[in-house]
Structure 1
């Protein structure tokens, strides 16, 4: 039984040709066959046609088995060149193989096969006895190098697209991580504040305890709704629609939730509003959300002020509180992951972020500037 299993593992199963390779082989076969239809180019002969067709067969595995396919095509082509004269004016199978060497292979393997095929060109010219015809020799090498160059160029383009795709994927993952941080962090901060105040309210002000629990429930439901919105940006629903991401129009609801958590917030807007792109609208909302969340979690503040100032060609957002304040180094490096995330969020829309915390007066003020039209 074991010997049977070992034999089955050692069996070499033929690899099924890929559809693209089959199409390429058929096109080369048509080009090769069509040459015989032109009078005076290549005389017809069944043996000649079968041998030239044999050089095309390895192209069926040119991408799945590039090295065996290339060596087989090259060897068969030299046999045809040595036995049939005059041969096809253009070695179509060889040109496709040389393109494949440049497009599929890399490093030493590619360099080795390039050397083999360049040497094969010399041998083919010797078999054709074309040393006294430098034009034919030049055409042969020019065609070979052109095919190789096109293959290398195609591989370079694929690599470039892959790199750009990886960068876009990493940027999208970072954006989703920032959104998750903003949504979950804000909701958890509201619920923690209300939960910590709950026992005191139940004991001292039972009439307000119900409002605290309602605020916890509201924050949780809002977080679930926003998370569904984030998931909606990753996959469309059956109707093809997506949940909208928050914008400046949602700031009133955000401020209302923070007020219910016990922080007195004043929202003020000045200037003539200018249009912002959807990405800039969401970034502006997240700036306010993150600033108010940090105030609730860390500042020990009793009030905060949110100012939206529309200046020429830009929106300036300032969120200031009367809390204990922090040093800039602490804000940036010691627990300021949210602020770093805001800078990363603002960068794609051309925005900038800064903050200050005066040591004499205390408090903390965060300012973001987002160009209009971004």
Structure 2
């Protein structure tokens, strides 16, 4: 089994440790505090009172542990500890040893610039000026050198903080944009899945509901006539069989279209021939249908041609199921100018449907299909138990 080379393994270990330290800010800042405590311990023996000096040094170092989680509290605690240290050390006349942890004032200012608001950092800068004044007065620091020295370091800390703050804001903006893009991508994926489910449901409803309705009507008629008129029953059963075969063929065509958007036009059954077959099938089921076609609808786009057929198919199925005995239907398809108008009129039967009220999915499916094609759908009840469905679809110039 292959093993990692020692050099690469070492880099991997360092990378893991670095990433863990970055993800654990208090641990990293605790290490920083520990390093300065060690510096304080090395400087303490040179002071007049090493114990007091070291205690004050620890007091200066401890708040830095919170510099990223609580930057304001940490910074002002360090500032207060620095002022207290200057006042305490002022009682030792010959103590000129400075605290190495005084550099943490610069780190605290940097942390405020990066993690807090600018006005808070500006107030802290004034606090640093007060601390400098205390050092000059209490510890007899040289005025010009001390001011220039500390001011230079403080300004440098502020400038570095500004650069890092800009980088942090850029990273946060990029992260926010990525999150928005990911959310938008997920939303588009969900919308696409929902649209595909709706499309599949609509296609299957148009195919299955139409054919099954015809088969139910013919089967019921055959059951009534099987003893009294065997010839009519036999003819009805032949219609059931042919309708079943037609439904199976249509279902295969629909599934082929759903599986592959690039399906050739040969698989689709639309246009004049498709409408004629639909009308003939309904006539065989016992519904008189008059079909009138004006204009060239065979040259329409496949999606539009199939949509017209589905609208006619669903409308005639509704007439067959709900209009009752004696109903007649008229289908008018007109292509005039840049529009195609599809009108299916139920001239009314006895108003008592054979299968009661439907689920309403047929009308909903037609509205969805018409909306996808960019058209409008209108349904209206006519006097004498009649009903009309009218769809207007954009077809483009002939």
**Normalised-by-shorter TM-score class:** 0.5 to 0.7
Determine the structure 2 residue equivalent to 1:267: 291
TM-score, normalised via structure 1 length = 0.63
* 1:337 CA displacement: 2.8
Alignment partner, residue 253 of structure 1: 277
Give the 3-state SS of the residue equivalent to 2:393 in structure 1. Answer: strand
Match of 1:351 among 375, 379, 389: 375
Distance 1:325 1:58, change over 3 A: farther
Matched, 1:56 2:15: yes
Q: CA deviation at 1:370?
A: 0.8
Residues 243-267 of structure 1: per-residue CA shift (max 9 Å, x gap): 9454234212211211111112121
The number of equivalent residue pairs is 280
- Closer/same/farther in 2, CA of residues 273 and 225 from structure 1, 3 Å limit: closer
Q: State the Cα deviation string for residues 327-351 of structure 1 (Å, max 9, x = none).
A: xxxx9x9743311221112111112
SS in structure 2 of the partner of residue 269 of structure 1 = strand
Q: Which residue of 2 aligns with 1:322?
A: 347
Deviations 1:232-281 (A, max 9, x none): 344459xx968945423421221121111111212111134485443322
Aligned to 2:154: 131
1:299 alignment partner, one of 290, 315, 323:
323
Q: Which protein is bigger by CA-based radius of gyration? A: 2
Distance in 1, matches of 2:275 and 2:70, equals: 68
2:363 corresponding residue in structure 1: 339
Q: Is the 8 A contact 2:343 2:391 kept in 1?
A: yes
Instruction: After superposition, give the CA deviation of every residue in 1:151-187 in whole Å (9 maximum; x if it has no partner).
Output: 1110110001111111121122122222222211111
CA shift for structure 1 position 81: 12
Match of 2:45 in 1: none
Instruction: Tell me: higher relative CO, structure 1 or 2? Use CA pairs within 8 A at least 6 residues apart.
Output: 1
Q: Which runs of 5 or more structure 1 residues have no equivalent in the other structure? A: 1-29, 31-49, 61-67, 84-114
For the pair 1:364 / 2:387, whether they are aligned, the reply is yes
Judge which range, 205-214 or 257-266, deviates more. Answer: 205-214
Check if 1:185 corresponds to 2:209: yes
Could you tell which deviates more after superposition, 71-80 or 147-156?
71-80
Task: Establish whether residue 71 from structure 1 lines up as the match of residue 94 from structure 2.
Answer: no
Q: Summarize the alignment of residues 100-249 of structure 1 with structure 2, pairs less than 5 Å apart.
A: 116=69, 126=107, 131-133=154-156, 134-235=158-259, 244-248=267-271, 249=273
C-alpha distance in structure 2 between counterparts of 1:69 and 1:206, whole Å: 90
Whole-angstrom distance in 2 between the partners of 1:124 and 1:338: 75
1:343 to 1:325, Cα distance in 2 relative to 1, 3 A: farther
**SS of corresponding position for 1:56:** helix
Aligned equivalents of 1:194, 1:265: Cα separation in 2: 16
2:295–2:336: 8 Å Cα contact kept in structure 1?
A: yes
Q: Check whether the contact 1:55–1:77 (CA below 8 A) recurs between aligned residues.
A: no
Cα deviation for residue 297 of structure 1 reads 0.6
> Is the 8 Å Cα contact of residues 131 and 137 (structure 1) preserved in structure 2?
no
User: TM-score when scaled to structure 2?
Assistant: 0.59
Task: Output one character per residue of 1:42-78: Cα deviation in whole Å (capped at 9) or x when no partner.
Answer: xxxxxxxx8x986633688xxxxxxx68524885599
Q: Could you say what the CA RMSD is over the residues aligned between the two structures, in angstroms?
A: 4.0
Q: Are the aligned partners of 2:350 and 2:385 in contact in 1 as well (CA < 8 Å)?
A: yes
Q: Which runs of 5+ in 2 are unaligned?
A: 1-7, 36-67, 76-103, 111-149
Query: 3-state DSSP class of the match of 2:180?
Result: helix
Which stretch shows the higher mean deviation, 264-273 or 338-347?
264-273
